[in-house]
Structure 1
Amino acid sequence: MIDVLVIGGGNAALCAALMAREAGASVLVLEAAPRAWRGGNSQHTRNLRCMHDAPQDVLVDAYPEEEFWQDLLKVTAGQTDEALARLVIRASASCRDWMRRHGVRFQPSLSGALHTARTNAFFMGGGKALINAYYRSAEGLGVKVRYDAPVSRIELEQGRFVAAHLDERVVEGRSLPAERIRARACVVAAGGFESNRQWLREAWGRNAEGEWPADNFLIRGTRFNTGVLLRNLMEQGADAIGDPTQAHMVAIDARAPEFDGGICTRIDCVSLGIVVNREGRRFHDEGEDFWPKRYAIWGRLVAQQPGQVGYSIIDRKALGRFMPPVFPGAMAQTLDDLARQLNLPAAALVETVGTYNAACRVGTFDHTRLDDCHTRQLVPPKSHWALPLDSPPYYGYPLRPGVTFTYLGLRTDATAAVHFSGEPSPNLFVAGEMMAGNVLGKGYTAGVGMSIGTAFGRIAGVQAARAAGFQHSSSERHDDRACV
């Protein structure tokens, strides 16, 4: 029998697998995706939000615990478990040395990367390189990995994990039989339900116009996160947490693919111009705070607009101040022509821009700080970086909601145990997106998803190994306390 079974193949799952194996447990990883698409949403990431009290290697200045906590508190509007959130924050301060030991390399923040040089440690080579490093390390340590292995259900006995079930399936033209895989302990880290269109429809329902908003969502991440195990465990009585409509949802280029668009589809010029809906009207403050703290609200805002579409409009002054999108925007010398290219009502767009320009109170523009350029007597306002759009050419980018991961998940505690009627399971643990809703009730700040996955993946791995009868060495336990 396997000591520890890990279900999932992304950052949190691999952190769990590595920690359990370091404790001496035999470990099997079941990844639903084929090898070429392994890694879940983690393959599309690029950084980890890190607490630090002084400059450290690739991180400049300081980003202390209280500031990290206040940033998280603000974006979640208080919908977070403070104890678990602070656990994640403290873990982020010391996990990088462990990550390096498993082959992860870091680099300074890229120019134009959301003002994150102080708060976020970037992975050299991005999330794909991180995932590949973890798989190399895991396989080198003797962790067994199986691809094309989607688990359909978990077998439980009074809250205790017994076995994982795989249905009959066809892989590369071969028919594979159903399987029942037993283990002494299990970590579920199989992601949310963002790729399950029907579940998204159930969560969002119809809007006032009779539309299914979820039909117009694009999925920034993996197509393999369908929430099968999340629903299965909830149906078996696992305690749930979170709102099914809350998610890390970004405004991305409407021309992006349905799945796996990743970071390059994001539109990062929102705070440097205005955003209008298909009627040519603004609907939210584009400059209310730094972009890393606000970029993940814009998908939800666009989802609430008619047709679930929006348009980011800038002029020549914004160029060079944001990461260029992968798709070129519409470009025109006049607003009328830009409106025609974007299929927007020209008169409405011209009026919206004129009203906005007249309301701008320009002070000292500085897109690297909360400057004093704002609007006056304009609804909605623009609180910072409000410069008139008066310098052609003008550029426009169509937007759609891009779902990264959903927040509905399994309730847990500092041990990462799955709870049933308030009681922790003795041998079933959860990590990553399947429990992120304990920390993220709503909102997002750049890199915190990887912080959560790394912290709870490591905790889950330690606890699963312990449940299977294995303890870390004294030196590893010390490192575990520092990170967890």
Structure 2
Amino acid sequence: MVDTLTENHHDVIIVGGGNAGFTAAHAATVRGRRVLLLERGPVGMHGGNSYYTAGATRIAHGGLDDLRDALEPDERHERSIVPPYSPAEYAADLAKVTDGRNDPDLTAVLVEESGPTLRWLTRLGLRYRLMYERQAYERPDGSFLFWGGLHVGNVGGGEGLIADHTRIADELGTDVRYGIDVRDLLVSDGRVIGVSAVDPTGEVVEFRAESVILAAGGFEASAELRRKHLGEGWQHAVVRGTPYNTGRMLEAAIAIGADRGGDWSTAHSVQWDAEALDNASNRELTNRLTRQSYPLGIIVNTEGRRFLDEGADFRNYTYAKYGRLILEQPGSVAYQIFDAELRPMLRTEEYDMPGIGVHEADTIADLARSIGVPAGALAETVETFNSSIDTTNMLDPTVKDGRRAHVSPPKSNWASALATPPFFAYPVTCGITFTFGGLRGDSDGRVLRADGTAIPGLLVCGEMLGGLFSGNYPGGSGLAAGIVFGRRAGNIA
């Protein structure tokens, strides 16, 4: 007979089986702690938001030679230029994209520990590589130049990331259980002593531990909470990732005295295929329903007008905020427009697959009719844009080339005339990734009350830890924060 008390009592309970939760589990397990990881998703729907990512992980490093020991071998390395990316540059990028609203203590830990934490994970068995298809362009001489501070990603993307984490957890002997819907935190004398959950049979069960680490994501999968905290219209956003991040554990922690942390009014949101079937929480296409070659073309709304600067910066620094701007457009839909000269430069993994939303026509007028946009307005937009381009600089997507279109709004870089048929339009809407608001925690992940004191026995990491991001986000810093603060929480649990 199984001793239920022993089976359900552990040293550490982790709620959430994504990148941060698994990292916390590894850190606690290698310390000799008896760890139980509870994942709400059943097998086949597990992995949290991490499964749906491309695996991009932003770390500080000293260039390719510094990275080699952490990367899978690739013959292209000898033809690759990977600029160093210092902790100071990382911190500056975080401050730039958040307008200085990033927590300085959390930022300092992230930028200094991202590289060492990734190397620690590689020693455990996670596999990383250079992201050629997403963060570099092949130049005429056959070399590759990486750009935008984001160079490293997991082998196999998010799916490979979760597969590696799962394998490592199994090798370490971590107890991982799926389909466990944690509902509440158990508290005794002011200390968190476990969780109450519903198991796959519908039975309510309690799990006890000395420490509980919350890694269950934000509230992006709840239309009600999106509308409440992000504002009117956000209930219409498409959920890119897991359908299980409904904010329940955020509310459970707040109910026992946890303070809110970070910006609860903004979220990571991207341009997302508006016409593909099954475009929410798609386990097969995952991140490939994003449309991130937009800096090369123009984006128009359903009135045929541009409304943002597509070339304001490398896409790493703009993509996570442009979903919100599209949500604000009529019908919450926009169209990325390219011509035949630009089309071969688009990301293959996002723009070359069957079943995606795309319209093609030999004239701008026919393209407008295909997408239901006023033909005259779209023609005027394209003609005005084409005639305003400063051609002094050559088009070079590997640098901020200063090739500007002097229109309103301007296009600051990578402006190229849309003149060669056929023309292509990709319909996009707002795809929400995760919410920036979470719980207030210290740099080790201890959950804090409003008075700054820690709630004994309760820690937080991943998207549930608020304070790093606000309004915008540098690409790849979410997975990096997950491993850094997941490891920290696991080290003290």
TM-score by length of 1: 0.90
Contact 2:258 2:455 survives alignment (8 Å):
no
Shift of 1:162: 2.0
Alignment of 1:72-151 (within 5 A): 72-113=94-135, 115-116=146-147, 119-151=150-182
Which of 238, 252, 255 aligns to 1:218? It is: 238
Q: Which residue of 1 aligns with 2:462?
A: 432
Shift of 1:433: 0.3
Q: 3-state SS of the aligned residue for 1:25?
A: coil
Q: Distance in 2 between matches of 1:97 and 1:383?
A: 37
Q: Provide the aligned C-alpha RMSD in A.
A: 1.7
Q: Given residue 371 of structure 1, which amino acid in structure 2 is its aligned partner? A: D
Q: Distance in 2 between matches of 1:263 and 1:111?
A: 13
Are positions 1:315 and 2:315 aligned together? no
Which of 190, 202, 206 aligns to 1:176? It is: 202
Q: Given residue 188 of structure 1, which amino acid in structure 2 is its aligned partner? A: L
Q: Given residue 124 of structure 2, which amino acid in structure 1 is its aligned partner? A: H
Q: For residues 135-172 of structure 1, give each alpha carbon's deviation from its aligned partner in whole angstroms, at most 9, with x where no partner exists.
A: 121122221111000101112346521220114x6x3x
Q: For residues 240-268 of structure 1, give each alpha carbon's deviation from its aligned partner in whole angstroms, at most 9, with x where no partner exists.
A: 02333311100111024122353101112
Q: 3-state SS of the aligned residue for 2:113?
A: helix
Q: Distance in 2 between matches of 1:124 and 1:31?
A: 23
Shift of 1:204: 3.7
Which of 216, 228, 231 aligns to 1:202? It is: 228
User: Which deviates more from structure 2 when the two are superposed, residues 197-206 or residues 64-73?
Assistant: 197-206
Contact 2:135 2:150 survives alignment (8 Å):
no
Are positions 1:50 and 2:59 aligned together? yes
Q: Which residue of 2 aligns with 1:21?
A: 29
Shift of 1:450: 0.6
Q: 3-state SS of the aligned residue for 1:62?
A: coil
Q: For residues 316-365 of structure 1, give each alpha carbon's deviation from its aligned partner in whole angstroms, at most 9, with x where no partner exists.
A: 12122231324262111101110111111111111111111121112221
Contact 2:386 2:417 survives alignment (8 Å):
yes
Shift of 1:388: 1.6
Contact 1:116 1:292 survives alignment (8 Å):
no
Q: 3-state SS of the aligned residue for 1:37?
A: coil
Identity of counterpart residues, as a percentage? 37
Q: Which residue of 2 aligns with 1:335?
A: 364
Q: Distance in 2 between matches of 1:308 and 1:186?
A: 40
Shift of 1:120: 2.4
Go from structure 1 to structure 2 and tell me whether the alpha carbon gap of 1:117 and 1:283 turns closer, same or farther (over 3 Å shift). closer
* Unaligned residue ranges in structure 2 (runs of 5+): 1-8, 72-80, 137-145
Alignment of 1:159-170 (within 5 A): 159-167=190-198
Q: Given residue 278 of structure 1, which amino acid in structure 2 is its aligned partner? A: T
Q: For residues 198-256 of structure 1, give each alpha carbon's deviation from its aligned partner in whole angstroms, at most 9, with x where no partner exists.
A: 111222443xxxxxx22421111111111101112123321102333311100111024
Go from structure 1 to structure 2 and tell me whether the alpha carbon gap of 1:450 and 1:116 turns closer, same or farther (over 3 Å shift). farther
Q: Which residue of 2 aligns with 1:265?
A: 289
Contact 1:60 1:118 survives alignment (8 Å):
no
Q: Given residue 340 of structure 2, which amino acid in structure 1 is its aligned partner? A: R
Q: Given residue 25 of structure 2, which amino acid in structure 1 is its aligned partner? A: A
Are positions 1:237 and 2:267 aligned together? no
Number of residue pairs matched? 451
Contact 1:102 1:133 survives alignment (8 Å):
no
Q: 3-state SS of the aligned residue for 1:152?
A: strand
Q: Given residue 160 of structure 1, which amino acid in structure 2 is its aligned partner? A: R
Q: For residues 436-458 of structure 1, give each alpha carbon's deviation from its aligned partner in whole angstroms, at most 9, with x where no partner exists.
A: x3111221111100110000000
Q: 3-state SS of the aligned residue for 1:199?
A: helix
Go from structure 1 to structure 2 and tell me whether the alpha carbon gap of 1:302 and 1:2 turns closer, same or farther (over 3 Å shift). same
Are positions 1:352 and 2:381 aligned together? yes
Q: 3-state SS of the aligned residue for 2:160?
A: helix
Alignment of 1:371-386 (within 5 A): 371-376=401-406, 378-386=407-415
TM-score by length of 2: 0.88
Q: Which residue of 2 aligns with 1:209?
A: none
Shift of 1:24: 0.8
Go from structure 1 to structure 2 and tell me whether the alpha carbon gap of 1:269 and 1:140 turns closer, same or farther (over 3 Å shift). closer
* Unaligned residue ranges in structure 1 (runs of 5+): 207-212, 465-484
Contact 1:33 1:224 survives alignment (8 Å):
yes
Q: Which residue of 2 aligns with 1:227?
A: 247
Q: Which residue of 1 aligns with 2:47?
A: 39
Q: Given residue 224 of structure 1, which amino acid in structure 2 is its aligned partner? A: Y
Q: Distance in 2 between matches of 1:398 and 1:449?
A: 26
Q: Distance in 2 between matches of 1:272 and 1:159?
A: 55
Q: Given residue 269 of structure 2, which amino acid in structure 1 is its aligned partner? A: M
Q: Distance in 2 between matches of 1:28 and 1:216?
A: 36
Q: Given residue 127 of structure 1, which amino acid in structure 2 is its aligned partner? A: G
Are positions 1:254 and 2:274 aligned together? yes
Q: Distance in 1 between matches of 2:246 and 2:204?
A: 20
